[in-house]
């Protein structure tokens, strides 16, 4: 044993014995299969790499090339833009040539890589002006693009995925329409039923429990139905209403489809206000978002042009028009309109109608402006204006501006003070298809309860007066002629107007009392029927104008909820009482491919086709009656078979019954051996002592 001396801290000598020193050398044939990552993974993660410090940097190409005198202005524009759309900027570097001019690109560093990635998504392809569109990339992406292989390889073919047939509902041979019914299923979910309006009874297509958290909404052409959830919204379509796409926007409360169904707008609350997001429906990509300080004033804060090319909103003293698909300002500027109150797009042209409030010695005005040219095509000055409402006719041929005006008087010519005595109402009608857009005027002094254009045609209706004793006036507009008062229905109890989608027929509704009148405006304004649906709060025409549904929603009432189905003439077809009923929605249809002339020709010759449709209806009803008789016969046969089986079983058990009854056949009521015996016995006796 080897010995070694050592001294402790106290200085006394003491011997310690140690064994033989170990050998840590690997044997000659040893193979080390443990990697450094397994042993030192935590430390290797901290190892510096080439990208350290540059993953937070973005490179912006295609910035303007300017001389030194304009460099500061360019810096202020670029840095303001890139700080508004992202986080705090750490540093900015502008490469310059020998003369001090910019080279057309800039390096911008942010606090972290997440902000840099968001900037790339948001501002790539941003249009600064007509000559400069930014190309924004991460600095680290350049190395990736440098290492692109020289030899191109054929991409691996992906397996074919069968797409949903989103328009199968239009191929129904008998052109039956579809509708959905929503009702509460549990405390936090809603059941949705999908039906086809077949004759003589609707046919159920699908029922989904817990399909949505709040309510549902169809897209404008009926392709999709949207549902609301805590995480966001989803759209569904196809034969079995499969999920098409989802849009992650927590607590979404409002959705709006663009008219051509290319984009979806969602709106939901945040900690400081409300967030509005625009999505591409097919890809599910977020296009742009906005933050508002408070609740949007209405669901149409952003309003679409008819062709999805533009979406607009009112800004401070102006209108912001955004182009699609970039969703950036048209011509990079707001259209300045001091005092603007409201605006509306034409349903068929890229024309905006807006009105501006009256100021001291400056009248109010209504203006029509072309987009994107920005040319004003018509202006109308208005005096003593309290408010305006803009109503476009569906075909875009006419525009009505309802003007609430103060009536005034002066006591004396020398008296400069003007006293307002009351209100009266003007309806300014713009003839959009005529030269110079002439304007007609209709004046009404009663209170206005409702106004509505005929969807197909040139008539409009106004409810004026008191709701219990109102007048309903119908006017007609013709090219080159003055507005004609066709008739006025007096002493009507109505508050709302509901035109058929095909025109001609209208429902005069009192949604306070639940009373309805069905009127044919082409036949001397004949009241075809008067009906009532107590507490009814909604009226829905089907897309063809053949049926009307009235409903009592549990959102507004707790008893007698459900919906009624009527013909366009006001004849009730069926009542559907439904507990916890919430919504009834007809599925919209695509616009007709027939021209207006072709549709008029069909209406003109409708009597020729009437007999064919009548025969089909009778056959359908008789077929339904035959099916009902066959079903009843089948049920009868099933019952007789069951009865026969039970009788046979009863006969088999007869011997057992006789054994239990001392071999007496009690089944034979007329058996002489049986004697009737009456037994009486006391059940209970009580004594009550009255004091």
Judged by average pLDDT, the poorest of 153-157, 297-301, 571-575, 637-641 is: 297-301
Instruction: Tell which wins on pLDDT, 685 or 503.
Output: 503
Q: What is the pLDDT of residues 495-525, one digit of tens each?
A: 999 999 999 999 999 998 899 999 999 999 9
Query: Residue 675's pLDDT is what?
Result: 67
Q: What is the mean pLDDT of residues 556-561?
A: 86
Assign 283 a pLDDT band (cuts: 50, 70, 90). Answer: confident
Mean pLDDT, the chain, whole residue set: 85
Q: What is the pLDDT of residues 200-210, one digit of tens each?
A: 788 999 999 99
Nearest to 575 by CA among 631, 617, 531: 531
Instruction: Tell which wins on pLDDT, 603 or 194.
Output: 194
Q: What is the DSSP letter of 53?
A: T
Please give the full DSSP string across 357-413, using - where no structure is assigned: --BTTB-EEEEEEETTT--EEEEEEESSEEEEEEEE-TTSSEEEEEEEEEEEE-S-S
H helix runs in 495-584, sequence order: none
CB 209 within 8 A of CB 192: no
Strand pairing report for 538-541 and 242-247: unpaired
Query: Residue 389's pLDDT is what?
Result: 95
Class of the CATH domain delimited by 54-147:
alpha beta
Assign 110 a pLDDT band (cuts: 50, 70, 90). Answer: confident
CA-to-CA separations, 227 to 6, 212, 231, 243, 597, in angstroms, rounded? 83, 5, 11, 10, 39
Nearest to 260 by CA among 289, 286, 221, 229: 221
Query: Residue 33's pLDDT is what?
Result: 73
Q: How many helices (H) and strands (E) does the chain have?
A: 7, 45
Judged by average pLDDT, the poorest of 125-129, 370-374, 442-446, 666-670 is: 666-670
Assign 564 a pLDDT band (cuts: 50, 70, 90). Answer: very high
CB 222 within 8 A of CB 241: no
Judged by average pLDDT, the poorest of 329-338, 377-386, 398-407, 643-652 is: 329-338
User: In a 10 Å sphere around its CB, with 0-12 CB exposed, 13-18 middle and 19+ buried, how is residue 346 labelled?
Assistant: buried
Query: CA–CA separation, 567 vs 680, rounded Å?
Result: 67
CA-to-CA separations, 687 to 196, 681, 690, 691, in angstroms, rounded? 71, 18, 10, 13
Instruction: Tell which wins on pLDDT, 662 or 282.
Output: 282
Q: 553-586 burial, b for 16+ CB within 10 Å, e for fewer?
A: bbeeeeeebbbbbbebebeebeeeebeebbbbbb
Predicted model pTM? 0.71
CB 407 within 8 A of CB 422: yes
Domain locations along the chain? 54-147, 598-649
* Confidence check: pLDDT of 4 > 60: no
Judged by average pLDDT, the poorest of 135-149, 402-416, 526-540 is: 402-416
Instruction: Tell which wins on pLDDT, 350 or 55.
Output: 350
Q: What is the pLDDT of residues 253-279, one digit of tens each?
A: 999 999 999 999 999 888 778 888 999
Distance from the Cα of residue 676 to its chain's centroid: 78
CB 506 within 8 A of CB 494: no
Q: What is the CA radius of gyration of the chain?
A: 40
Does the CA dihedral 165-167-169-170 come out positive or negative?
negative
Nearest to 224 by CA among 190, 260, 189: 260
Q: What is the mean pLDDT of residues 419-423?
A: 65
């Amino acid at each position: 044993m080897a010995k070694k001396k050592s001294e402790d801290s106290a200085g006394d000598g003491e011997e310690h014995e140690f064994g033989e020193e170990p050998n840590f050398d690997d044997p000659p044939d040893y193979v080390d299969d443990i990697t450094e990552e397994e042993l030192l993974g935590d430390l290797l993660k901290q190892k510096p790499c080439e990208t350290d410090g540059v993953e937070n940097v973005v490179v912006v190409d295609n910035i303007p090339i300017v001389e030194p005198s304009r460099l500061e202005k360019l810096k202020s524009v670029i840095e303001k833009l890139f700080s508004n759309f992202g986080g705090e900027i750490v540093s900015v570097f502008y490469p310059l040539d020998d003369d001090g001019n910019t080279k057309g690109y800039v390096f911008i560093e942010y606090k972290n890589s997440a902000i840099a990635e968001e900037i790339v998504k948001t501002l790539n392809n941003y249009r600064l002006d007509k000559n400069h569109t930014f190309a924004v990339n991460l600095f680290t992406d350049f190395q990736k693009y440098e290492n692109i292989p020289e030899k191109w390889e054929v991409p691996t073919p992906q397996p074919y995925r069968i797409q949903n047939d989103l328009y199968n509902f239009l191929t129904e041979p008998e052109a039956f329409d579809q509708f959905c019914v929503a009702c509460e299923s549990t405390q936090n979910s809603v059941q949705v039923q999908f039906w086809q309006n077949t004759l003589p009874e609707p046919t159920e297509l699908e029922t989904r429990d817990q399909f949505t958290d709040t309510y549902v909404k169809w897209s404008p052409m009926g392709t999709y139905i949207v549902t609301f959830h805590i995480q966001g919204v989803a759209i569904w379509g196809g034969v079995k209403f499969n999920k098409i796409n989802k849009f992650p926007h927590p607590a979404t409360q409002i959705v709006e489809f663009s008219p051509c169904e290319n984009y979806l707008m969602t709106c939901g609350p945040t900690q400081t206000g409300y967030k509005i997001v625009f999505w591409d429906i097919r890809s599910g990509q977020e296009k742009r978002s906005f933050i508002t300080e408070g609740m949007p004033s209405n669901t149409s804060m952003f309003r679409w042009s008819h062709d999805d090319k533009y979406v607009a909103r009112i800004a401070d003293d102006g209108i912001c028009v955004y182009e699609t698909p970039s969703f950036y300002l048209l011509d990079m500027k707001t259209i300045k309109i001091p005092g603007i109150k409201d605006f509306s797009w034409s349903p068929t042209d890229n024309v905006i109608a807006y009105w501006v409030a009256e100021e001291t010695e400056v009248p109010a005005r209504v203006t029509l402006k072309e987009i994107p040219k920005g040319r004003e095509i018509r202006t109308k000055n208005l005096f003593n204006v309290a408010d305006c409402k803009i109503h476009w006719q569906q075909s875009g041929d006419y525009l009505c501006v309802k003007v609430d005006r103060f009536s005034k008087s002066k006591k004396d010519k020398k008296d400069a003070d003007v006293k307002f005595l009351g209100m009266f109402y003007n309806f300014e009608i713009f003839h959009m298809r005529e030269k110079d857009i002439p304007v007609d005027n209709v004046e009404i002094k009663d209170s206005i309860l409702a106004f509505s254009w005929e969807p197909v045609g040139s008539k409009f209706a106004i409810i004026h007066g008191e709701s219990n004793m109102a007048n309903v006036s119908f006017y007609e507009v013709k090219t080159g002629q003055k507005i004609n008062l066709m008739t006025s229905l007096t002493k009507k109890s109505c508050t709302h107007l509901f035109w058929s989608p095909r025109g001609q027929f209208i429902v005069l509704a009192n949604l306070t009392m639940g009373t309805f009148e069905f009127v044919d405006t082409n036949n001397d304004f004949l009241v075809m029927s008067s009906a009532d649906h107590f507490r009814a709060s909604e009226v829905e025409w089907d897309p063809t104008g053949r049926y009307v549904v009235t409903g009592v929603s549990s959102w507004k009432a707790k008893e007698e909820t459900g919906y009624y189905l009527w013909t366009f003439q006001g004849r009730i077809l069926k009542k559907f009482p439904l507990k916890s009923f919430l919504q009834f929605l007809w599925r919209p249809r695509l616009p007709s491919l027939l021209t207006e002339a072709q549709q008029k020709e069909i209406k003109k010759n409708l009597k020729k086709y009437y007999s064919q449709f009548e025969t089909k209806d009778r056959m359908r009803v008789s077929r339904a009656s035959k099916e009902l008789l066959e079903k009843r016969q089948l049920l009868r046969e099933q019952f007789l078979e069951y009865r026969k089986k039970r009788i046979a079983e009863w006969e088999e058990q007869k011997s057992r019954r006789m054994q239990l009854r001392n071999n007496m056949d009690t089944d034979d009521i007329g058996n002489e051996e049986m004697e009737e015996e009456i037994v009486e016995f006391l059940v209970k006796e009580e004594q009550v002592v009255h004091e």
